[in-house]
Each structure stands twice: as C-alpha cells, then as structure tokens.
Amino acid sequence: MYSLKINQPYLLFFFIINLVGLVGCGSSNGLEEDLTITISAMSFSPTALNALAGDTITVINDDTTTHTVTSESSPSLFDNSGTFDTGNISPSGTTTFRIPDSATLGTIYYFYCNQHKSLMSTPNGTITIQN
C-alpha cells in the first residue's frame, strides 16, 4: 500500500493552497446554473431559469430576426409589466439585464418576446428567484 508523505514544508503549503483554491471554486451566485437565455429558431432556451435577486442575465440572439426579452405579469398576457425589457436585440446580438435587488424568494418573473408575442415556438419563459 502506498502512502503520501509530504516531508518538505513548502510542498505541504503548496498542497493546502491548491486545495483551498479548489474548494472555493463555483458559481458566483451559489446556483449551478448558467444565467443565459438563448433565442434561436423562434424559441427561448432555457424556458425556465433560476436566479438570485440582483443577478445579471445574458441574452444571446442566435436567430435571424430581432427579439426582446420582456417581462409580463402572467404567461401569455404579453403586457410588458415593466420589471425588465432588453429592448431590441439584433440577430447575432447579445445584451444583459438585471433582476431587481428587491426580488423576493419564490418570485416568478414571466417573459416573452415583445416583437413576436405568441408567434414564438416557446412564447413564454420564467425566471424563478431562489436563494
């Protein structure tokens, strides 16, 4: 049987520093989820996202037409609730928006494309506030 013997103090120090660095790695928001919404082929992906209050969400438009990510009060209401709206995102464009700092645990933000409303393959998406 083999055993690891670290006789030199500097090797032990190097080992501990690297171990601490590995333990400290992870997502900045504590969630293991990528905070990106991609729009492609008239569809949002993902359609359900978890985030924290204050998180920044990236939107990538991989479609051939202009889109938005706009909040709505409930699914398929398409009412631009005013919580967030990316504005027009050109094809191949990228933008970001921020979840309000005041968002409370369990809040669900519904979103849609203000350019296409119910014409999208996935007309609605959700962002749920987690802790």
Q: What is the pLDDT of residue 8?
A: 54
**What are 118-128's pLDDT values in tens digits?**
899 999 999 99
Distance of alpha carbon 95 from alpha carbon 69, whole angstroms: 10
Q: How far are the Cα atoms of 31, 57, 80, 115, 116 from residue 98, in angstroms, in the given order?
A: 16, 6, 16, 20, 22
- Split into its structural domains, the chain has a count of 1
Residue 44 lies in a domain: yes
In-domain check, residue 1: no
Enclosing domain of residue 77: 33-129
Specify the pTM: 0.75
Instruction: Give residue 9's pLDDT band: very low, low, confident or very high (50, 70, 90).
Output: low
Whether residue 70 is contained in a domain is answered as yes
* pLDDT value of residue 5: 55
Q: Which of 8-17, 70-79, 84-93, 104-113 has the lowest mean pLDDT?
A: 8-17
Whether 95 shows a pLDDT value over 80: the answer reads yes
Distance between CA atoms of residues 119 and 66, nearest Å: 13
C-alpha of 13 from chain center = 37
CATH code: domain of residue 60: 2.60.40.420
Q: Does any domain span residue 10?
A: no
Spatial distance between the Cα atoms of 7 and 126, rounded to a whole number of angstroms: 55
Residue 58: pLDDT over 60: yes
